[in-house]
Chain A
Amino acid sequence: MWKKVLVIILLFYFLALLQNSFFTHFNLLGSVPNLVFILFFLLVFFEKKKKKYLIIPLAIVAGLFLDIFSYTYIGPSIVPLIIIGILLKKIQSLLKNREDNYPFVYFLPLFLICFAVYEALLMISLHFFDLSHTLINFDLRFAAGIVYNLFFAIIGFWIFKKHA
């Protein structure tokens, strides 16, 4: 158990460094993949229903790394991630059970919704504490960001699916 926790924390840290240093050279219209969010989403999506309590510590660790490597104070990412995690598990529990517990048809729209909600919540929380911070623009850059993140999320989905 502790080994798994340590691996997850290190993975979040590694991905936070990767998205801030390596992937900035591969930006798509200025957007870089939010690998920490993608890993968080995948972990929650593939989490067994009995282990719902893990959402909050996962959100705290993921949000902490996202906020530490950004320029704002610590917190704006943690709260949206907790909301997204709870929302995701709630939606998953409402969806009709299939033979396949983690179908791709559920993953795709859920990821898109959760990513858009996360971005919106993040912008609102940043704007709330810093009024000079502009609210979200649903422009070409935002669309490019969604496509770019979706690409990495789909790769992650198939990796997780293999090991689920």
Chain B
Amino acid sequence: MTAVLERPGRRFADRRSRTLAWVGLSVLVVLGVVVAGGLAADAAQTTSLTDRNLGPSASHWFGTDRLGRDMLARTLAGLRLSLVVGVAAAVVSAAIALALACSAAVFGGVVDRAVGWLVDLFLALPHLVLLILVAFALGGGTGAVVAAVALTHWPTLTRVLRGRAREVMSSDYVAISRQQGHGRGWIARRHLAGHLTGHFLVGTVLLFPHAILHEAALSFLGLGVDPGEPSIGILLAESMRHLTAGAWWLAVLPGLCLLVVVTLVDTIGSSSRALLDPRSHHL
């Protein structure tokens, strides 16, 4: 404390400002990837048979694939697809989680038990097997993957939100509100909403990485997006055939980019959680 007072000039000295700056930077990079991916959509599909299977060079930073398509453009387009799928999945899953957790907390009793039971049911299978089943049931293809990823990521968030909501509902001020004759809807609006917003937003962001990685995994297995579309999973699945020929750049670089983007999104989520947590002021 005294050290800070002595040196008021160092603005970025405390961890809170640094975390904020880091979150801002990550958001910018992720947005940049989305924009760049949109711009690279054409280049990702342009074949050039004279430049086939080239390694990384100044003109093709990530090299080219067997049809001479620029891997940098394909990677960017794939990342954009991943992020779009991630957004759709995170938003839908988060909405489901919020609805279930709130109804469990507000109505209690049978509804509460049913929600708990549903969560247990969804967690009973390995997540990837569940994804494969749902994607299969929806007939495969890009739409099916988005739906499968969106419909299966809510259980863990539901657990967290339900725990929080239960805490709020059992608190004294809610009991007093009840005594004063306020209805369930009023209590949910006035007391529950404020307490859940932070957890909900952070939980939504933290669903992203899971969703992105699962989309990539399904596409890699050949159960995901249509093979014509450049998704990171598809790129890596294609690269497998050329790996023994020594084309390492096809596999290493797109995967690395996916890893970086997932890490960035994860950073955004966990840093915002630390920032929203009132205990974090001493960080």
A and B associate: no
